[in-house]
Structure 1
């Protein structure tokens, strides 16, 4: 089997692909393989060369396992959105959860079914000319995966204000402000990632014609922007806010112990509804940490050891597959998390289910 290398800067989804080489294309017109380009074609069974064990495992992950996870995740996110959009009438926290469910759904569609939507992403690999990895489909995946990370940051900020600055809740934790915040976050991420888009390439796929730019610029820009925006900065901010929230809960609890029932203060009292949402937030944050840390560790290792990510990818293909599976689980776990840790969510879900059942009986 002919060896090839993927672009060093490609994250997650396309890092552990299975390629079936077209051994029947021997003429210059059919295929040309040199030091600059490795051509890969997906052919019928009669023309396929032997697939290694690694390739078979990767194809199984990307064509079966991740689509299955994504399918269940889309169903769960749909149910979650229906429930939390009802709860968002009383709390900005649930409005953020509704936006998170929508964003995660887009990620699952692109992550789980991109190879079916745009087969060229799976079938093509060009050394140092990653045409398909800067296609609108893939960059939309990048944008919404980053957007989901920053919605969790917004959730943490919202609960930090509710716990540590309860007197400012009516000013900052409102539906209007939540809508404005989510829109601003999306526009900022879209503007940050827009230079990655390429809508028209030259004939040899070495530069972008619209908008005009070199592939070197695009690759370097991706390396600088993606990992900090997707994981490093959001994880750092959420970690700091989580520590401050836990500290605020501890201080509030200690102060309440020194107060009589008749002397409770609004500044020191935390509403029971806030405490309920805190459990749900911490569960969401924990899953985000668990699924993001492998990406951060791998990228940090490759940078610290001065090892190209492509080399690491081919040496540890199953680690990259594991990262993609964890990413799918992160975006698909909303409904399970909310159902297990959200008391208010379960109550609203039961009410919704009972109303639908009652309507079905009476109808």
Structure 2
């Protein structure tokens, strides 16, 4: 009786998983990923302009690259799902061959994005709370070096994920079927437990703690500044960073909870994998939304973007606003913030 109940529940969860795949992988992923990739590409173009080459923008450019990798990975997942529905045999082969690499890339991009966000938050904290020290600490060269180190370290830390799965051949009713199983390394419970907890501590837990603390400090300092001064470009940039950090924290939190206990991967139950579809979609949203945040909060970024759109109807309107703003900004904005996003 108990086995029959378990089978029934598993079938219900399978329907939930397939529905989750349809909503997230087949519908939301292309809708989010394609505009997100375009937005990240435009962000890289704008951030590489001559008057945008600052330390903050170096971090944001590196973040746009990491986010683009995540979005490309998700688009490939969408293509595999389409293939599985139109040609199940070919789709199964594609899934078995691509999933191990996609899992590896997912972990790299998430780790890199997490620590680049921490780097941006740390720099903004220094700029707001210690503006004098910021002139020597927050340099573009240092930001580029830190970004490269983050990429190298996170690739190294995530490397065991590349060896999590191996292809196997199952024989069912005299037919061969490809499948994925965890490798002998990942069947070692001690290694799996210690590595999973360590990776997710670095990727999510400690990142969330640092970002929440830094964000609170930045918000407190920003409120003190606003109590005595009018809204300036520096404050708008700081507000933009706060929004980026808050969006990141909200989007990564469900994934952090799932990843801490290792739920939702290929070997998980249908219920776990169905929930993972939604938590991964939040990460996809986070990877795609920064361009919109830059456009909303940064007048400098918006003006440089409009150079790419010479016939934009909002260009003249924004230029008039900028002209009236410059009188105040010239007096109140530091050289670092005047050129940042």
CA RMSD of aligned residues (A): 4.1
Aligned position for 2:34: 71
Structure 2: distance between partners of 1:201 and 1:53: 26
The 5-angstrom pairing of residues 137-176 of structure 1 reads 137-176=102-141
Aligned position for 1:215: 187
> Does 2:246 match 1:286?
yes
The 5-angstrom pairing of residues 96-107 of structure 1 reads 96-107=59-70
Report the 3-state secondary structure (helix = DSSP H, G, I; strand = E; otherwise coil) of the residue aligned with 1:197: helix
Q: Greater shift after overlay, 335-344 or 149-158?
A: 335-344
Structure 1: distance between partners of 2:98 and 2:307: 46
The 5-angstrom pairing of residues 1-363 of structure 1 reads 52=15, 54-86=17-49, 89-114=52-77, 116=79, 123=92, 135-198=100-163, 201=166, 208=183, 213=185, 215-216=187-188, 219-252=192-225, 272-298=232-258, 314-315=270-271, 318-354=274-310
Q: 1:338 to 1:313 in 2, by over 3 A?
A: farther
Q: 1:221 to 1:62 in 2, by over 3 A?
A: farther
Cα deviation, residue 136, structure 1 = 3.0
* TM-score between both structures, scaled by the size of structure 2: 0.70
Cα deviation, residue 321, structure 1 = 2.7
Kept in 1, the 8 Å contact 2:16–2:270? The answer is no
Q: 1:348 to 1:167 in 2, by over 3 A?
A: same
Cα deviation, residue 152, structure 1 = 0.7
Bigger helix share: 2
Structure 1: distance between partners of 2:41 and 2:35: 10
Alignment gaps of 5+ in structure 1: 7-16, 19-51, 125-129, 258-269, 358-363
Aligned residues: 287
> Cα deviations across residues 174-218 of structure 1 (Å, max 9, x unaligned)?
11000011011111111211222229958677675xxx9453266
Structure 2: distance between partners of 1:228 and 1:191: 16
Structure 2: distance between partners of 1:337 and 1:237: 22
Structure 2: distance between partners of 1:114 and 1:312: 18
Alignment gaps of 5+ in structure 2: 1-5, 85-89, 170-179, 314-341
Q: 1:78 to 1:284 in 2, by over 3 A?
A: same
Cα deviation, residue 219, structure 1 = 3.5
Kept in 2, the 8 Å contact 1:110–1:138? The answer is no
Structure 2: distance between partners of 1:122 and 1:221: 34
* TM-score between both structures, scaled by the size of structure 1: 0.66
Q: 1:213 to 1:77 in 2, by over 3 A?
A: same
Aligned position for 2:173: none
Q: 1:330 to 1:207 in 2, by over 3 A?
A: closer
Q: Greater shift after overlay, 135-144 or 194-203?
A: 194-203
Structure 2: distance between partners of 1:309 and 1:320: 5
Structure 1: distance between partners of 2:311 and 2:144: 28
Cα deviation, residue 340, structure 1 = 1.4
